[in-house]
Structure 1
Amino acid sequence: MKAMSPSPRSLGLWCLLVLGAGCEATDPAWIQIFQAPDGAAVYDLFETAGWLGVAVDNPFDLEQVDLVGEFRDPDERIHEIPGFFYQGYRRELDGDTERLTPVGDGHFRVRFMPDQAGAWRWRWRVDAGERRGATAWRELRVEPPRSGVHGPLRKSPHDLRYLSHVDGTSFFAIGSNMAWAGSGGSYDYDRWLAALADPGGNYVRLWMPSWGFGLEWIERDAEGRLIASSLGDYRARLSRAWQLDTVLERARTLGIQVMLCLQNHGPFSSVSFSEWDDNPYNAANGGPIAAPGDFFTDPAARALFARRLRYLVARYGYASNLMAWELFNEVDLTAFRDKAEVVAWHAEMAALLKSLDPVGHLVTTSTTNLGALYGLDPELYALSDIDLAQFHLYGYEGNDVDLTAEMPRVADYYRAFGKPVLAGEVGVDYRGPAETLARDPHSAGYHDSLWMGLFSETLGTGANWWWDSLAQSQEWYRHLYPISRLLDGLSLDRARLEAHKPQVSAPGRELEAFALAGDGLALVWIRNRANLWFSGHDESPIEGASLSLTGLGDGVYTALAIDPYDGSLRSLPDVTVDGGSATLALPVFSMDLALRLERR
């Protein structure tokens, strides 16, 4: 659609750039800046806007319009932030269904996260073919960060097993997958995120699939004929981008970090949840590739994905609660031809993300267990621009996966790549929530996946997949509270803890213990092996248990016992460590018990 008039209310496409307030006389006449905040705080959003009198057919095509915000920090360094096209919406709940109504005209925005307090200046620069220009510099006062705001996450400089915020605050991910919503749309996330945050959850993983937050897909009429494609032009799906804005902001207010998965495997798979027939990249739908495996090598397909990456960075890259970009979910399930092509694609796109993202968010990807069999994992996680290693671990009929044994083993394999490890998906049965509940009616497998995430030395708890059908309906998130209470106030990345398997025993019982111990701190989890998810359900009291700990620095330690099911606390007698070891008489407990020992 071409702009036919310089009026902001023209039916043609005028570009609103979120970059400033009040047009100054020195601005080009065809640029009308109309909105900007007076200031911002460190690590918060600064967002600005204005009209551009230019005619563009596709506002996502940089050959037609390239919008960049320039921000000069107090040390005179320039930060360049890409602009993006935006449409606002108003939401309302109609029964159980979210309804979205467009608000105002479509426009561009620039979103920026300042990382330094002081006097900044900013302007925006436009290259729109025959029209090029830049506004006058404007002033921006940035205040120190608000209380409790710690900035984006990084690999900890103290311990590469863990993450920390840029201000040094330690972070351990306690959470779940929440890949897509139901008919309630962003209202679903209002409920789900609050339910996760209430017991101490601080992390979720979101997807961008065709039926969720995805920007590129096709439309068919009632007879199945192709009528539209949003490949490279996302205007038809900007309501979904607005929903993701809303969810990210809701997560931020609740202190929840988000890993955003940019591409699920189905659109480029021929066998695993295949969506190839409706994929806009498919040549049958007007796309550039004839087979799904061509996605990794075709120049046009790579250029289109790169365009999408730029848009995503421009729109969401400001967010200090964006833990990581995940390039692909389970890329080994796509119809790739050669692993070298997949690795080269990841190298290219991860490097592009790093170059585009002014905040420098972490980057990862994921595979199933086939990634190791195909030899993909070692090459993917050897890439310098892939920051986190990730594994997905499931049981299935005929495979009663013992998470207490398998999670440490798998985590050790991925940790060998020299990067923090995330248990991105863990469950007792990959086939579905009904199968999971039938095999694990007491949620013991879910419970164990949380604790083994910690004691397998990963950066967070194991993440459940069945977020809506089980975590909500079965109230699974209650299991998060005890582990968040155990870790409250601790900085795991500074504690220099090492994993141990302590000796534990009780008359007539088969117990197992896991510990992370260091010079002045020990965390311990003891569990009854008769209460594993596949071995039965045993809530009988365990009496007379004794624990032998090693790996501690000498001294007197306070000891706190935590019930891993309800989070209740019990103070225990002080423990004296001599020669790096100590023996504890454990209180009576049922199913399992957690301990926190700290040197006085």
Structure 2
Amino acid sequence: PYPQHHQQRQEIFFGNGLTANYQARLRYMIARYAHYDHILAWEVFNEIDLTQAADEQLVSWTEAALDFLAEHDPYQRLRTVSWLRERWPEMLALPNLTLLQVHRYIPHLEHVGPSDSDVIAAMLSDVIHLRHAQRPFIFMEVGHHGHDDSDVPGNHLDRSGVALLQKSWAGFLLGGAGTGMSWWWDSWLEDNDLWRLYAPMQRAFSLIQWDDPGLRPMPVDLGSDMRILGWQSSRQALIWPHSRWSSWHNQLLQPGNNPHLGKRFAVTLQSMSPGRRYSQLAIHMRSGAVVAAHTLHADGHGRLQLKLPPYDGSIVLIITPQP
């Protein structure tokens, strides 16, 4: 039903609210699928700014689509839309936008610049303003960038899933409502048996009591040699000590360029329960194996000195209270 020229298509689709065809599609989707409890959210449009329509049209159309879903979905499932630009406050302000998205790709290796090597810093910059939005967010698309399966040099180089490991864990430990969700699931993940890397995540996450109202994502000091990503309350913590030298760039393009490998670091958690005894498990991010277990004691000021194994970049720590 749309003309050949993209500007005419934009006007027909976005210019006058929701088209009758789109409303009918939404009604069908709600009637057909709304009762399934394994559907996370309704996404009204993917990367909507790529349509190149005027911002005012896109925001107005998205608001209408979200409002339609809010009115007609009896289960009030989460509602979302995605875009590529880094900031879009007008879209972020829509009241019926209940799940926020971030898309973060490592550029095509031919175009990687100095600022692209530190994916943790890039992901943190994506979410700083989202942490205050009082709504859940997810890194809904992450991975190496490419145009199709045959043109993703990062995937061809990264057979062990370095980017998957870092972006999945960081997506959650920076405050996300789930892990970073990798693209290339039907090619790169499948061909290299990388699905196995999700099992250790599930194991580690299951050891934390997520109904703890005190849990908060921890602030990350990007200027530190050893960054601490994770969730913490006064009762428990899930943390990933991550050296700034352990970037995907160093591991894939400059192997051996990590002076922190094998060294021991001192990490102290603040604001734990004074005088309380805790269990610490060190879990390997690739195998899910428990590589060390310790009993720790917080001092009278709530400071808890952790016991880190020699650094290899692949250990997360689970801190839970003992009886």
Q: TM-score range by the shorter chain?
A: 0.7 to 0.9
Query: 1:428–1:436: 8 Å Cα contact kept in structure 2?
Result: yes
Which fold has the larger relative contact order, with Cα–Cα distance below 8 Å and residues 6 or more apart in sequence?
A: 2
Name 1:420's counterpart in structure 2.
136
Query: 1:563–1:592: 8 Å Cα contact kept in structure 2?
Result: yes
Name 1:525's counterpart in structure 2.
240
Q: Please state if 1:576 is matched with 2:303.
A: no
Name 2:269's counterpart in structure 1.
549
Name 1:486's counterpart in structure 2.
204
Aligned-partner residue type, residue 450 of structure 1? S
Residue 584 of structure 1 and its aligned partner are, at CA, apart by 2.5
> Partner of 2:62: helix, strand, or coil?
helix
> Partner of 1:325: helix, strand, or coil?
strand
Q: Which structure features the higher share of helix residues?
A: 2
> Partner of 1:352: helix, strand, or coil?
helix
Query: 1:528–1:592: 8 Å Cα contact kept in structure 2?
Result: no
Query: 2:142–2:182: 8 Å Cα contact kept in structure 1?
Result: yes
Query: 2:144–2:155: 8 Å Cα contact kept in structure 1?
Result: no
Q: TM-score with structure 2 length normalisation?
A: 0.85
- Cα distance in structure 1, aligned partners of 2:178 and 2:220: 20
Q: Please state if 1:585 is matched with 2:287.
A: no
Aligned-partner residue type, residue 548 of structure 1? T
Name 2:178's counterpart in structure 1.
460
- Cα distance in structure 2, aligned partners of 1:453 and 1:469: 21
Query: 1:442–1:533: 8 Å Cα contact kept in structure 2?
Result: no
Q: TM-score with structure 1 length normalisation?
A: 0.48
- Cα distance in structure 2, aligned partners of 1:493 and 1:333: 38
Residue 514 of structure 1 and its aligned partner are, at CA, apart by 2.1
The correspondence of residues 112-261 of structure 1 with structure 2, limited to 5 A, is none
> Partner of 2:295: helix, strand, or coil?
strand
- Cα distance in structure 2, aligned partners of 1:563 and 1:547: 18
- Cα distance in structure 2, aligned partners of 1:593 and 1:371: 31
> Partner of 2:306: helix, strand, or coil?
strand
Name 1:323's counterpart in structure 2.
40
- Cα distance in structure 2, aligned partners of 1:398 and 1:480: 27
> Partner of 1:291: helix, strand, or coil?
helix
- Cα distance in structure 2, aligned partners of 1:472 and 1:568: 23
Query: 1:502–1:547: 8 Å Cα contact kept in structure 2?
Result: no
Which sections of structure 1, spanning at least 5 residues, go unmatched? 1-280
- Cα distance in structure 1, aligned partners of 2:119 and 2:271: 24
Residue 324 of structure 1 and its aligned partner are, at CA, apart by 0.4
Q: Please state if 1:471 is matched with 2:186.
A: no
> Partner of 2:8: helix, strand, or coil?
coil
Query: 1:394–1:430: 8 Å Cα contact kept in structure 2?
Result: no
After superposition, the Cα gap between the structure-2 partners of 1:416 and 1:340, relative to the gap in structure 1 and judged at 3 Å, is farther
- Cα distance in structure 2, aligned partners of 1:598 and 1:522: 7
The correspondence of residues 335-350 of structure 1 with structure 2, limited to 5 A, is 335-336=52-53, 338-350=54-66
> Partner of 1:566: helix, strand, or coil?
coil
Aligned-partner residue type, residue 398 of structure 1? V
After superposition, the Cα gap between the structure-2 partners of 1:502 and 1:305, relative to the gap in structure 1 and judged at 3 Å, is closer
Larger radius of gyration: 1
Residue 597 of structure 1 and its aligned partner are, at CA, apart by 0.7
* Pairing partner for 2:285 from 555, 560, 564: 564
How many equivalent pairs are there? 305
* Pairing partner for 2:112 from 375, 379, 398: 398
Name 1:19's counterpart in structure 2.
none
Give % identity. 26
* Pairing partner for 1:352 from 56, 68, 71: 68
Q: Which structure features the higher share of strand residues?
A: 1
Residue 492 of structure 1 and its aligned partner are, at CA, apart by 2.6
- Cα distance in structure 2, aligned partners of 1:320 and 1:326: 16
- Cα distance in structure 2, aligned partners of 1:474 and 1:353: 38
Query: 2:117–2:247: 8 Å Cα contact kept in structure 1?
Result: no
Name 1:151's counterpart in structure 2.
none
- Cα distance in structure 2, aligned partners of 1:350 and 1:544: 50
- Cα distance in structure 1, aligned partners of 2:131 and 2:293: 35
Residue 382 of structure 1 and its aligned partner are, at CA, apart by 1.1
Q: Please state if 1:411 is matched with 2:127.
A: yes
* Pairing partner for 2:97 from 386, 389, 400: 386
